[in-house]
Amino acid sequence: MRALGQNPTQKELQDLMDKADVDEDDETKVVVVVVVEVVVVVVVVVVVVVVVVVVVVVVEIIGIIVVIVVVVVVVVVVVVVVVVVVVVVVVVIAVKVINSFALSPKDVEIQLRQAFLVFDRDKSGSLNLSELREVLCGMGEPLTQDEASYVLKKIDKNNDGVVDAEEFVQFLCKIV
């Protein structure tokens, strides 16, 4: 400094040295602050990225679970509906089939009148004791002559000794 024409005292030189030391300390502090700030920013960015990735993954997993649950629920509902529909259809068909086999009273009467014509072997228009006994035996009731006579009296409403078609139908309709 003396070469530059200045003539600082020892104290001034010491002050300058101290000042230089202060500047060096300041630069070091600035570098430390910058490094800390960079580290903080990097940490924040990493944390944010990790959080975002975790959130995205969780949302995707939740989304997949929701989709699986929805699919399972839909499949269960469809299966239940199909089973219910099949059961209802089967029941309806069964009822229709049963009803188709079930005879109305009118049908029963018609069939009994047709049977009467078959049992009336001598085509007299009535069943005598012999014919009636044959009918009853054919129905699984092996009756003696006396038992058949007793039944004939029960059926023979007009007491003419024979069973006409009307008496025959009325008697068997009560049984059927």
Q: Are 154 and 162 in contact (CB under 8 A)?
A: no
Instruction: Mark the segment that binds Ca ion (CB under 5 A) among 12-20, 74-82, 109-117, 149-157.
Output: 149-157
Site track 115-144 with Ca ion (rule: CB under 5 A), x = hit? -----x-x-x--------------------
Tokens of 158: 């007009």
CB of 103 to Ca ion, least distance (A): 26
Residue 141 carries which DSSP code? -
Please identify, among the stretches 17-25, 62-70, 104-112, 154-162, the one whose residues bind Ca ion according to the rule CB under 5 A: 154-162
Q: Which range, of 13-21, 87-95, 98-106, 160-168, touches Ca ion by CB under 5 A?
A: 160-168
The region, left, alpha or beta by phi > 0 then psi within -120 to 50, assigned to residue 143 is beta
Distances (CA, A) of 150 to 107, 139, 140, 161: 29, 17, 17, 11
Q: Which residues make up the interface to Ca ion (CB under 5 A)? A: 120, 122, 124, 156, 158, 160
